[in-house]
């Protein structure tokens, strides 16, 4: 039916056709969606491609039935849909190809092993020692490893020309500066810090001496205890020593004091602990114990803080007294574990370190 004027039935007819086409576009979109959801193989996707985009496909059918010449907008919409279908099919193909890759991934293939780290055994030992003294009310401190002669020696009652200086093969890093050969520098520093009793500190740190053999390394660790208060006496030192020995080594261990000499303590002692192998008897099967020979193993030095040191720390030795001890972390660790050579600890051999 052809009418002459533009606002005629022909125009209305075109409008009707346009509406119809829009509906068909929507239907195609919907159908495509359903098809794409269902398809799982590239071959299936080929069929969809032909169905919508092939010569006899739905898009071409649409073009054929459309009065494009009179409604270019519609033509553009169909073209856009065509491009959209192409893109969707390409995207689905990509997805299928990729997921088929994942499907062939062998989930039983062993993964890359993650090496499990742990704290170094010295770090573990320090943590254990620290926790024992914290239980007794001590405070953990860290004092300088690079120290002036005063805190390291002079202030600890060791004069410049005193032979006691020779005992410790010290690393000098300047005329007046050393790498601390013991943690006793912490005694003076703690007294200065606290200014008055009570003092109850454990200073754990690195120490340095010019030495190396199976039981000595140039760098090692010490833990230094210092207790200062009114009426502190040797029994307090004994109590703390016994507590540590039992907590760290085992309830069946005992300690004893043996007279010794240090410039900064008076009286001075070496602390011994009963040998684990012979339980302090010195005998195994009627033979001398091979580990200790005497029943006792040496733990380290201790003593009552020398009045001069208390004075040098800024406190009054008439009003307070104290005890101090300085023992080796590596040493107690070796005594506890039976490690034959201290140098193993610093060998960085992962097979060795893994055992702790």
Contact set with ligand PHE (CB under 6 A): 182, 184, 224, 262, 265, 300-303, 324-326
**Both tokens of residue 178?**
């050393």
Q: Residue 85 or residue 201: which is nearer to ligand PHE going by CB?
A: 201
Greatest alpha-carbon span in the chain: 134
Judged by beta carbon, residue 280 or residue 326, the one nearer ligand PHE is 326
What is the SS3 assignment for 231? Answer: coil
CB of 185 or CB of 274, closer to ligand PHE: 185
Long-range contacts of 44-53 (CB under 8 A, 24+ apart): 45/89, 45/92, 45/93, 45/96, 48/89, 49/89, 52/28, 52/85, 52/89, 53/82, 53/85, 53/86, 53/89
CB 295 within 8 A of CB 274: yes
Nearer to ligand PHE, 25 or 302 (CB): 302
Q: Which is nearer to ligand PHE, 92 or 221 (CB)?
A: 221
Q: How far is the CB of 356 from ligand PHE (least distance, A)?
A: 25
Using DSSP's 3-state secondary structure scheme, residue 275 falls into coil
List the structure tokens of 190: 């703690």
Return the SS3 of 294.
coil
Nearer to ligand PHE, 35 or 330 (CB): 330
CB of 222 to ligand PHE, least distance (A): 6
Crossing angle for the helix pair 72-103 and 58-65, to the nearest 10 degrees: 180
Q: CA 96, CA 146: separation in Å to the nearest integer? A: 67
User: By C-beta, is 19 or 210 nearer to ligand PHE?
Assistant: 210
Residue of minimal Cβ distance to ligand PHE: 326
Phi, psi for 252 (deg, rounded to 5): -85, 5
Q: Measured from the CB of residue 236, what is the shortest distance to ligand PHE in angstroms? A: 14
CB of 249 to ligand PHE, least distance (A): 19
> Nearest approach, Cβ of 237 to ligand PHE (angstroms)?
10
Question: Of 150, 151, 134, which is closest to residue 190 (Cα–Cα)?
Answer: 151
Beta carbon of residue 271, minimum distance to ligand PHE (angstroms, whole number)? 9
Ordered strands of the 171-172 beta sheet:
146-148, 177-179, 171-172
Q: Which is nearer to ligand PHE, 52 or 220 (CB)?
A: 220
Cβ at position 201, least distance to ligand PHE in Å: 12
Residue 119 CB, nearest distance to ligand PHE (Å)? 25
Spell out the residues 6+ positions from residue 174 whose beta carbon is closer than 8 angstroms to its own.
Answer: none
C-alpha distances out from residue 183 to 122, 282, 307, 329, Å: 16, 32, 19, 12
CB of 305 to ligand PHE, least distance (A): 8
Residue 21 or 203 having the CB closest to ligand PHE: 203
Nearest to 305 by CA among 200, 217, 205: 200
C-beta neighbour count of 311 within 10 angstroms? 15
| Whole-Å CA distances, 236 to 10, 105, 227, 261, 292 | 116, 69, 9, 19, 27
């Amino acid at each position: 039916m052809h009418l002459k004027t533009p606002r005629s039935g022909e125009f209305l007819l075109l409008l009707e056709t346009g509406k119809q086409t829009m509906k068909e576009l929507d239907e195609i979109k919907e159908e495509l969606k359903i098809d794409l959801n269902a398809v799982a193989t590239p071959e299936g996707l080929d069929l969809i491609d032909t169905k919508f985009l092939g010569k006899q496909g739905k898009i071409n059918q649409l073009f054929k039935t459309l009065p494009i010449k009179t409604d270019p907008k519609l033509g553009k919409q169909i073209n856009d849909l065509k491009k959209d279908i192409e893109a969707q099919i390409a995207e689905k193909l990509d997805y299928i190809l990729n997921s088929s890759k994942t499907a062939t991934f062998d989930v039983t293939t062993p993964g890359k092993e993650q090496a499990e780290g742990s704290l170094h055994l010295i770090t573990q030992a320090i943590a254990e020692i620290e926790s024992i003294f914290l239980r007794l009310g001590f405070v953990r401190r860290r004092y300088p490893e690079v120290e002036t002669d005063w805190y390291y020696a002079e202030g600890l009652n060791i004069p410049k020309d005193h032979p006691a200086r020779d005992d410790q093969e010290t690393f000098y890093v300047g005329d007046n500066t050393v790498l601390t050969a013991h943690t006793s520098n912490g005694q003076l520093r703690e007294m200065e810090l606290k200014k008055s009793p009570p003092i109850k500190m454990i200073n754990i740190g690195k120490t340095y001496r010019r030495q190396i053999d199976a039981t000595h390394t140039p760098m090692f660790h010490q833990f230094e205890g210092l207790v200062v208060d009114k009426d502190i006496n040797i029994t307090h030192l004994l109590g703390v020593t016994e507590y540590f020995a039992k907590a760290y080594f085992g309830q069946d261990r005992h300690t004893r004091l043996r007279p010794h000499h240090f410039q900064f303590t008076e009286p001075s002692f070496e602390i011994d602990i009963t040998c684990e192998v012979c339980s302090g008897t010195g005998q195994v099967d009627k033979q001398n114990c091979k580990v200790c020979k005497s029943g006792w193993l040496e733990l380290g030095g201790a003593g009552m803080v020398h009045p001069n040191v208390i004075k040098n720390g800024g406190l009054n030795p008439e009003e307070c007294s104290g005890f101090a001890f300085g023992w080796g972390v590596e040493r107690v660790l070796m005594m506890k574990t039976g490690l034959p050579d201290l140098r193993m600890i610093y060998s960085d051999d992962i097979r060795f370190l893994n055992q702790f």
